[in-house]
A = this chain, B = another copy of it.
């Protein structure tokens, strides 16, 4: 992948709509050209092919997730408070990049097979959250869990799946409102108040 000029990068992000709608295989290179205004051959000049365009978009989303999560982690407060901030930050990315997020979800299987994407997912979300859980156990704001990474994966799943669900329903329902569903679930669980027995 040749170094992608700023303008090209911006234009390519427009392809996210296509990928979100039809997935990678349902999107012809020609479609991307039409949607972005960049000639097919020029796309090939900068990218190896449409899969690399997809990967480029995924990377952009994950970079945004990474930054948002990192900022949340640096916020003041207990680990529990920061975990709450992380969930909000994550939801913010879904709100900011709804199409790209849906594209990532659409081709989840393919994304999981792109080594670069796996690495970025770990770095942007799973590692930081797992480490945050460990901190919470230390500062007493969170319960110690047996497997912090798997717990982080479960949280990732809860957030992503419901966010995509809300985006797909396409009721005006803001994704951010999900925080009222996810955060209590993750922090307090479903048992009635007064006794997490």
Chain A 182-197 per-residue mask, 1 if CB under 8 angstroms from chain B, else 0: 1011111111111111
- Of B150, B165, B192, B197, the residue contacting A150 (CB under 8 A) is B165
- Interface size, chain A (Cβ < 8 Å): 56
Instruction: Check: A120 CB closer than 8 A to any chain B CB.
Output: no
Instruction: Tell me if A's interface is mostly helix, strand, loop or mixed.
Output: helix
The stretch of A2-10, A30-38, A63-71, A105-113 in contact with B is A105-113
Copies in the complex: 4
From 144 to 197 in chain A, residues with beta carbon under 8 angstroms from any chain B beta carbon are 145-147, 150-151, 153-162, 165-166, 168, 178, 180-182, 184-197
Question: When the two chains form their complex, are residues A150 and B23 in contact, meaning their CB atoms are under 8 A apart?
Answer: no
A83 at the A/B interface (Cβ < 8 Å)? yes
Q: Which residues of B contact A106 (CB under 8 A)?
A: 108-110, 112
Give chain A's interface residues, CB within 8 Å of chain B.
23-26, 80, 83, 102, 105-110, 112, 133, 136, 140-143, 145-147, 150-151, 153-162, 165-166, 168, 178, 180-182, 184-197
20 of the cross-chain contacts (CB-CB < 8 Å) are A25-B25, A83-B190, A105-B108, A112-B168, A142-B190, A142-B192, A143-B190, A145-B184, A147-B181, A153-B161, A154-B158, A156-B161, A157-B158, A157-B159, A158-B161, A160-B161, A161-B161, A184-B189, A185-B189, A189-B189
